[in-house]
Structure formats: C-alpha cells, structure tokens
Structure 1
C-alpha cells in the first residue's frame, strides 16, 4: 500500500493513504508532508511496524506514532 507520512510536533508522525493528510487528527496539527513510501504487511519498514500501520489505516484511516511508538488509540 502506498502511504503518505506527515510530521507533527516533536517526534509525532501520521501515516495515511490520503496524499493531503486531510484525515489526520487535529490534535497534532499542523501536519507537514515528510515522505511517501510503499508499506507491505510483514515486511520491515523504516520507523514503522507494517502490521500495526496497515491495521490502523484499515480501521481508522490513519496511523499515529510518537518516537516510533504507536499512539493511534490516544486520538480515536
């Protein structure tokens, strides 16, 4: 899956299929585009747990981390 990664405050990052990041939670805005990349379930991905990331995107539309630790549950 092609995803877009956005940087929030500090070490917070948001990952989404939306190239504009419009569905990322306002709690950590403003979001700045960081990079895009392909994420494949079970395949190592720099800075992301691919399974957690894809599960969150399927369920919530986005995946949020702080210092590479999943915090999606804090914003849904």
Structure 2
C-alpha cells in the first residue's frame, strides 16, 4: 500500500493513504508533507512497524508516531 507520511510538531509523524493528509488529527497540525513509501506487512521499513501502521490505517484512516513510538490510540 502506498502510504503518505506527514511531519507534525517535534518528532510527531502521521501516516495515511490520503495523499493530502486531510484526515490526520488537527491536534498536531499543521502537517507538512514529508514523503511517501510503499508499505507491506512482509517487508521491514525503517522507522515504522509496517504491520501496526497498516492496521491503524485500516481501522482509523491514519497511524501516528512520536519519536517512532505509536501514539495512535492517544489521539482517536
């Protein structure tokens, strides 16, 4: 799955399948486009747990990390 990564304040990052990032939580806005990556459950991706990220995107529409630690549940 193609995932777009956006940078929030500090070391907060948002991951989403939405190219504009408009579905990311306003709590960490403004979001700045960072890059996009192809995520797969069977291929490790540096800096993110691919399985966790894809699960969150499927369930919530986004995955949020702070210093590479998942904080999605704290913002939904």
TM-score range, shorter chain: over 0.9
Partner of 1:39: 39
Alignment of 1:1-76 (within 5 A): 1-76=1-76
* SS in structure 2 of the partner of residue 73 of structure 1: helix
Using structure 1 for the length normalisation, give the TM-score: 0.98
* SS in structure 2 of the partner of residue 45 of structure 1: coil
What's the offset of the Cα at 1:42? 3.0
Q: Which runs of 4+ in 1 moved over 6 A?
A: none
Distance (Å, rounded) in 2 between the aligned partners of 1:5 and 1:37: 8
* SS in structure 2 of the partner of residue 35 of structure 1: strand
Aligned-residue CA RMSD in angstroms? 0.5
Q: Which runs of no fewer than 5 residues in structure 1 stay unpaired?
A: none
Q: Which runs of no fewer than 5 residues in structure 2 stay unpaired?
A: none
Using structure 2 for the length normalisation, give the TM-score: 0.98
